[in-house]
């Protein structure tokens, strides 16, 4: 499980959820950076060589859609996975990101989607 060392940035205001997600991803071999809100997430995103972003949609102040838009402006090549507690997100938000999923779908789904973002060819072959 140590084969992935890709740098992942997790942004979520739910601290317990963020902490658990960090442990989960680290166990799966990712290097994980966390941010509790949009602005600090953007700051880390701008300075660190982040390879993929796991972004929560619902956050006070700056929601995930806004954060994603700014990240696209800075580094459009970095894939973004948007997590949401809501079932239906607006199309203008989902069109900004590479993939999105509803919270509670489970860890395997998250890991699978994250993997497909980092290794699109492998994912398609599987």
Partner 1 sequence: MNLSQFNNILRQVFLLPVVALLVVAGALYLQIRGANATVNLIQDSDTRISQATLVSKLIVDEESGLRGYETTGDLRFLQPFSEAKSHVQAEIQSLDNMGGSDPDQKKDIEDLRSEHQTWQDAFALPVIAQVRGGGNTDDVDLNLHGRELMDEVRHDLTDIIQKAESSRTRRIARWHRQVHNMLLFLLGLALGIGVLIGLFTRNRLHAVSAAYRSSLEILGRRAEELFQSEQQLRTTLDSIGDGVITCDAAGHIQMMNPIARELTGWGQADATGQPLEKVFCIVNEISREPMETPVSKVKRLDTIVGMGNHAMLIRRDGTELNVADSGAPIRDQRGETIGIVLVFRDITMERKTQDALIANEKLAVAGRLAATIAHEIHNPLDSVSNLLYLMRNGASAEESVQFMEMAQQELTRVTQISRAMLGLYRESKSPVVVDLKEMLQEILLLMERRLADTEVKVTADLPSSVTVAAFPAELRQVFTNLITNAAEAAGRNGEVRVSVTPQTAGAEGSGLKIQAGATVTIADNGPGIPEEVRPQLFQPFFTTKGEHGTGLGLWVSRGIINKHGGTISVSSDTSKAAHGTVVSVFLATNPTINAGVD
Question: Considering CB under 8 A, how many residues would be counted as binding partner 1?
Answer: 26
Q: Is the dihedral of CA 39, 45, 47, 48 positive or negative?
A: positive
Task: Please identify, among the stretches 3-11, 43-51, 104-112, 117-125, the one whose residues bind partner 1 according to the rule CB under 8 A.
Answer: 104-112
Q: What are the start-end ranges of the E strands in the chain?
A: 7-11, 31-35, 52-56, 80-84, 99-102
Binding of residue 108 to partner 1 (CB under 8 A): yes
- Enumerate binding residues for partner 1 (CB under 8 A): 13-14, 16-17, 19-21, 23-24, 27, 58-61, 63, 83, 85-87, 102-104, 106-108, 110
């Amino acid at each position: 499980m140590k084969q992935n060392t890709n740098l992942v940035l997790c942004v979520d205001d739910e601290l317990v959820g963020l902490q658990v997600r960090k442990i989960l991803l680290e166990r799966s071999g990712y290097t994980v950076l966390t941010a509790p809100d949009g602005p600090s997430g953007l700051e880390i995103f701008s300075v660190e060589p982040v390879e993929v972003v796991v972004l929560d949609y619902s956050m006070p102040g700056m929601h995930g859609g806004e954060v994603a838009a700014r990240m696209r402006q800075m580094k459009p090549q970095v894939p973004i996975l948007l997590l949401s507690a809501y079932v239906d997100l607006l199309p203008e938000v989902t069109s900004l990101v590479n993939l999105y999923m509803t919270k509670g779908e489970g860890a395997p789904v998250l890991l699978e989607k994250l993997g497909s973002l980092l290794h699109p060819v492998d994912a398609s072959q599987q």
